[in-house]
Structures are given as C-alpha cells and as structure tokens.
C-alpha cells in the first residue's frame, strides 16, 4: 500500500506539472504573439505611394489624404530618396558632358569629330530626360509635404533640399552647349512638347470662346434689328 500510495503521489505530481506547463504556454503564447505583432507593425511602415513613381498627381493626392503623420513622414522620406537618386544620376551625366567638352576644347579645331558631337548630344538628351524626371518627382514630393504639413509635419528641411537641387549649372559661355540643351528640351515629352501642347490648348480655348462670343453677338444684333423693324416700330 505504501508503494502504491507513493506511486499515486508521483503520478499526481507529474500531472500537476504538465497541467501547469500547458497553462503557462496557453497564457504566454498570445502575449508573445501580440508583442511580436506590435513590433512588426511599428517597424514595417513602408511607403505605398512610391511603388509606382509615375503615379498621377491626382491619384497621389487621394492616396495621401487618409495617411497619418507617421505614414506621411515615411512617404516623404521615400520620395526624397527617389529625388536624391535622380539628382545623383544627373550629376554623373553632367560630369561626363563636362569631360566631353574638355576633350573638344583640347582638340583646338573649329569642327570637332562628328562622333564626339553625337556622343555629347546623346548625353545632353539623357540629362534633359533625367531633369524632367526630377521635376516630376519634386512635384509629387511637394504633394506629400503639403499633406504632411497640414497634419503637423515639419517639412522645412525637405523644402530646403528641393530648393537646393532644383537647378542645374550650365556654362553660358558655350553657345553650342546651350543650343543643344534647348533643342533637346524642345523635343522632350515633358519639356517643349508638353509646353507646346499646353499652349495649343490655351489658344484653342481662347479661340473657341471668341468664336462663341462672335456668334452670340451676331445673333443678338440680328434679333435686335428684327425687333426694331417689326414690333418695335409698330409700337
């Protein structure tokens, strides 16, 4: 009986230990999982608007509207990173252009080799395209900054950076370089072509309303003359 009682006590003690372990696991697991989710949520605030850098400005305005201050800060950082990368690309291309200009100057000839001029033209076209891309990124970054500022965000440093990288240094003494850049800008989709289309739209709207005004004026004059020669005279 003593042996049997001792065995029953050991079994009871073992069961108590197992049950206690199960209770600890069941109670502790949700807390650990919850903490893990909290940490994961706090560290995984990623940008959602830079997944498509060519997103329309209208769609971007709608996307940033519901975002919190913390989320808008991450969006601003992501767009700033894109802007910094674009500025670096422009700087690298401009460095190569300067090197090509130096090669042409070192030749000391009136007509430099055609191949060298073609390479320079391609580099300038690339630089203009990158600069147009920079303008588009800045435009979208400003949308994010405006929304962030409305919700209490500090945007001064971002605005200073935009101001600092918005221009490009051009040697105004090199007339050929200026003309190449201007002609490349005229041919670019985001440059001269876009400006030309916008000007054409404005002119079309002005001409359209001038025509409408002329038609209304003619209609009024005709109606007024009929009134004077008919009912107006009899009265």
pLDDT 10s digits, 82-140 = 999 999 999 999 999 888 888 888 887 777 788 888 888 888 889 888 999 999 999 99
Same domain, 23 and 114: no
Q: Is the pTM of this model over 0.95?
A: no
Reported as a pLDDT band with limits 50, 70 and 90, residue 65 is very high
Alpha helices in 44-174 (DSSP H): 57-64, 69-107, 114-150, 156-165
Within a domain: 207: yes
Q: Which long-range contacts (CB under 8 A, 24 or more apart) does 164-172 make?
A: 165/83, 165/87, 165/134, 166/134, 166/138, 168/90, 168/94, 168/127, 168/131, 169/94, 171/101
Token representation of residue 37: 């989710």
Within a domain: 49: no
Same domain, 154 and 79: yes
Reported as a pLDDT band with limits 50, 70 and 90, residue 219 is confident
Q: What is residue 188's DSSP assignment?
A: S
Same domain, 62 and 143: yes
Per-residue pLDDT tens digits for 134-193: 999 999 999 999 999 999 999 999 999 999 998 766 555 555 666 666 666 666 655 556
Q: Which long-range contacts (CB under 8 A, 24 or more apart) does 162-165 make?
A: 162/83, 162/138, 165/83, 165/87, 165/134
Within a domain: 198: no
Alpha carbons 65 and 87: distance in angstroms, whole number: 28
Within a domain: 51: no
What is Dmax (Cα atoms) for the chain? Answer: 138
CA angle 135, 193, 144 (to 5 degrees): 25
Domain encompassing residue 72 = 57-190
Same domain, 73 and 169: yes
Token representation of residue 154: 């500090």
Alpha carbons 167 and 50: distance in angstroms, whole number: 23
Same domain, 133 and 165: yes
Within a domain: 129: yes
Position 29 scores a pLDDT of 41
Same domain, 154 and 215: no
Same domain, 84 and 160: yes
Within a domain: 161: yes
Same domain, 67 and 37: no
- Total domains, the chain: 3
Same domain, 84 and 184: yes
H-helix or E-strand spanning residue 199: helix 192-229
Residue 37 neighbours by CB distance under 10 Å: 10
Q: What is residue 111's DSSP assignment?
A: S
Within a domain: 52: no
């Amino acid at each position: 009986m003593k042996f049997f009682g001792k065995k029953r006590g050991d079994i009871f003690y073992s069961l108590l230990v197992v049950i206690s372990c199960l209770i600890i696991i069941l109670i502790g697991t949700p807390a650990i999982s919850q903490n893990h989710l909290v940490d994961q949520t706090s560290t995984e605030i990623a940008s959602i608007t830079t997944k498509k850098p060519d997103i329309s400005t209208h769609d971007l305005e709608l996307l940033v509207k519901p975002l919190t201050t913390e989320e808008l800060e991450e969006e601003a950082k992501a767009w700033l990173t894109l802007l910094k990368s674009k500025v670096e690309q422009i700087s690298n291309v401009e460095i190569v252009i300067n090197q090509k200009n130096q090669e042409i100057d070192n030749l000391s000839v009136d007509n430099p080799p055609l191949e060298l001029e073609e390479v320079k033209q391609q580099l300038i076209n690339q630089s203009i395209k990158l600069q147009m891309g920079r303008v588009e990124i800045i435009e979208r970054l400003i949308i994010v900054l405006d929304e962030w500022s409305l919700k209490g965000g500090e945007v001064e440093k971002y605005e200073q950076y935009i101001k600092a990288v918005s221009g490009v240094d051009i040697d105004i003494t090199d007339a050929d370089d200026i003309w190449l850049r201007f002609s490349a800008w005229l041919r670019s989709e985001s440059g001269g072509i876009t400006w030309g289309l916008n000007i054409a739209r404005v002119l079309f709207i002005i001409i359209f309303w001038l025509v409408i005004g002329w038609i209304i004026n003619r209609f009024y004059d005709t109606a007024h003359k009929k009134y004077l020669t008919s009912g107006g005279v009899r009265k």
